[in-house]
Amino acid sequence: MPSNPVEMMIVKILGGSMGTSIGTGGGGTTGGVTQGSMVEVLRRVYSERFGIGEPLHVQFILFWRRIFTFDFGISYSYYPAKVNDVVMRALPWTLALITPVPIIGFFIGNRIGSIVALKKGKAANIVYYLAMYLSIMPYYWFGMILIYVFGVVLRWFPTSGAYSSIWLKPQWTNPQFLLDVLHHYTLPFLSLVGQGIGGWALGMRASVASQAKSTYTLYMKHLGFSFQKIRKRIERNAILPNFTWLPMSFSGLVGQTLLVETVFGYPGVGSLMYDAAFSLDYPMLEATFLIIMLIVLVGNLICDIVYGILDPRIGSRYVSEEAQ
């Protein structure tokens, strides 16, 4: 197996049969076009174009220039497309998959946790333990079960891709296309969201249970507030410790999205990274890694801002520090 992107590129151009002859240095022939010297020329051209022939320290500087200028040059595996174009085409799919997952998972998980902590019912307990088992289960395996049950046996949902192949390219203004996208979106989304709910429910149950024992709850009960009002107060306070885990969950979520994209053949950043890792597409790997870190960082930033809104004490402290 060639271990150099240039060799891989040449093999790709000349067809798989060339792989062995390049390794031994002899000039193989396919279609009468390629002699040994021809391969040498190709190798030189691609080395120069990819910047691989340079000495190591120059390549290192080139690497930092690519990172800071956001200009990753030409992709090896999608040659001759630019890395930026390919990544930008894939990014919306990944963002669409990743954005709603923590939000919806957080809300559903918190609701389950608070119901289980406040009302001891059989139904609530069953849902709670289901969520717990779901969060221990590897999400990709859960996704495969979803594919099998809903995609193959029941035939309710398509098993792979982000839209049907009758749409040659995305047509965002067409409502039927949007419906089709939602149809494809359901299974990968479910397999991602199922993973988080259990953890949030667990945290919320403990948090609500400790708040329910506190003195203000007792006081409200004695004053005769309705259960709904008390619950609202308790949840408002209990959500804070749980919320601090949200930023921590992002780096895990990014990895989960990558794997789920591969299982479902979803055309996002994860699939690009997967292709790039197999074809030694270094610029693509750098770009996808940078994008992933940016997603994690932006997610953390948003969480910090939302935490200031959720907890007025923190928010006002920020403001008062500004004022000083």
Partner 1 sequence: MQRRSVAKILFRSKKFLACSTIVLSLALLGAIGPYFTYDPTDYVGRMYEPPSPKHICGTDIYGRDIFAQLVHGLRNSLMVGVIAGGISLLIAMAIGGISGYVHGFIGEAFNALINIFLVLPTIPLLIFFSALVRIRSLFLVALFIAFITGWPGSARALRSMVLSLREKDFINLAIITGKRTRHIIFGEIFSNMIAYIFLQFCGACASAILAEAGISLIGLGPTDVPTLGMMLHWAIMSLSLQIGVWWWFFSPGLVLVLLIASLYTMSSIMPEV
- Residue from the set 15, 23, 26, 252 that interacts with partner 1 by CB under 8 A: 252
Binding mask of the shown chain, residues 108 to 137, with x at each position contacting partner 1 by CB under 8 A: -------------------------x--xx
Residues in Cβ contact with 262 at an 8 Å cutoff, skipping those fewer than 6 apart = 270, 271, 274
Query: Does residue 80 have a cis peptide bond before it, meaning omega lies within 30 degrees of 0?
Result: yes
As a whole number of angstroms, the distance between CA 202 and CA 109 comes to 8
Q: How far is the CB of 273 from partner 1 (least distance, A)?
A: 6
Q: Say whether residue 63 binds partner 1 (CB under 8 A).
A: no
Stretch of 104-112, 212-220, 236-244, 252-260 lying at the interface with partner 1 (CB under 8 A): 252-260
Q: 14 or 258: whose CB is closer to partner 1? A: 258
Q: Say whether residue 161 binds partner 1 (CB under 8 A).
A: no
The strand pairing partners of 74, in sequence order, are: 82
- Residue from the set 45, 88, 248, 319 that interacts with partner 1 by CB under 8 A: 248
Stretch of 115-123, 222-230, 272-280, 301-309 lying at the interface with partner 1 (CB under 8 A): 272-280
As a whole number of angstroms, the distance between CA 101 and CA 193 comes to 5
Phi, psi of 34, rounded to the nearest 5 degrees:
-110, 115
As a whole number of angstroms, the distance between CA 113 and CA 132 comes to 11
Other CB atoms within 10 A of residue 165 CB: 6
Q: Say whether residue 60 binds partner 1 (CB under 8 A).
A: no
Radius of gyration of the chain (CA): 26
As a whole number of angstroms, the distance between CA 216 and CA 311 comes to 18
Q: How far is the CB of 103 from partner 1 (least distance, A)?
A: 19
What are the residues binding partner 1 (CB under 8 A)? 1, 3, 133, 136-138, 140-141, 144-145, 147-148, 151-153, 159-160, 248, 251-252, 254-256, 258-259, 262-263, 273-274, 276-278, 280, 282, 285, 288-289, 292-293, 296
